[in-house]
């Protein structure tokens, strides 16, 4: 498949809770990160081969303060302080995208809050290899 959607509520959550009180999420809910640095969500995504993809994180941030997170791939930091700016409301969901080079087999993607406010509310991670549109990411 060109895109694979991984819900946050079925990922590995550290210092966060699954909630469903702000509409617009996919699946059964979203992760409300605890308001502490170090709170995290970790997904595992299987790749049929080594390939470059886009990682699309869907989130909401109803505050006016950025909720930056560090993103690691298989334990290596690929974005140290990725910005998750305010979306205007907890029911307004937007995406942040970054590129990553997956290895064949299971890959872990972890999004960890870097400030005392914790992360935004996170709905999902989508892995997009670009093949559905014919776009060449390279
Ligand atoms: C509110 C909101 C939560 C959010 C939290 C926060 O409590 O209802 O969904 O996670 O603020 O600031 O992190």
Task: Count how many domains the chain has.
Answer: 1
- Arithmetic mean of pLDDT, 88-113: 98
The reply to whether 63 falls in a domain is yes
Q: Which domain holds residue 31?
A: 3-128
What integer pLDDT is reported at residue 62 of this predicted model?
98
- Arithmetic mean of pLDDT, 37-64: 98
Ligand 1: list residues with CB < 6 Å: 22, 32, 35, 63, 90, 118, 121
Compute, in angstroms, the gap from residue 32 CA to the centroid of ligand 1: 7
- Under a CB-based contact definition with an 8 Å cutoff, are residues 15 and 135 in contact? no
As given in the structure block, the two tokens for residue 26 are: 């996919």
Compute, in angstroms, the gap from residue 56 CA to the centroid of ligand 1: 21
The reply to whether 134 falls in a domain is no
Distance CA 122, CA 120 (A): 6
The reply to whether 135 falls in a domain is no
What integer pLDDT is reported at residue 82 of this predicted model?
98
42 pairs with which residues across the strands? 12, 110
Whole-number CA gyration radius for the chain: 14
Task: Give tens-digit pLDDT for 23-36.
Answer: 999 999 999 999 99
Compute, in angstroms, the gap from residue 99 CA to the centroid of ligand 1: 28
Q: How confident is the model at residue 138 (pLDDT cuts 50, 70, 90)?
A: very low
CATH number for the domain that contains residue 51: 2.60.120.260
As given in the structure block, the two tokens for residue 111 are: 């999004």
Residue with CA at minimum distance from ligand 1 atom 11: 62
What integer pLDDT is reported at residue 133 of this predicted model?
62
Distance CA 40, CA 16 (A): 7
DSSP state of 48: S
The reply to whether 89 falls in a domain is yes
The reply to whether 59 falls in a domain is yes
The answer on pLDDT for 135 being more than 80 is no
Distance CA 91, CA 127 (A): 23
Q: Could you count the other beta carbons within 10 Å of the beta carbon of residue 79?
A: 18
Task: Give tens-digit pLDDT for 124-134.
Answer: 999 999 887 65
């Amino acid at each position: 498949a060109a895109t694979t959607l991984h819900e946050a509520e079925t990922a590995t959550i550290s210092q966060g809770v699954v909630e469903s009180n702000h509409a617009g999420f996919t699946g059964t809910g979203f992760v409300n990160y605890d308001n502490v640095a170090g709170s995290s969500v970790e997904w595992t995504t299987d790749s049929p081969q080594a390939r470059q993809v886009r990682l699309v994180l869907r989130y909401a941030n109803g505050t006016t303060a950025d909720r930056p997170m560090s993103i690691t791939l298989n334990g290596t930091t690929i974005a140290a302080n990725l910005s998750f700016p305010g979306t205007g409301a907890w029911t307004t969901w937007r995406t942040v995208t970054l590129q990553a080079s997956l290895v064949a087999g299971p890959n872990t993607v972890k999004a960890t809050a870097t400030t005392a406010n914790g992360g935004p509310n996170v709905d999902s991670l989508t892995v997009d290899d670009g093949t559905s549109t014919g776009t060449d990411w390279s």
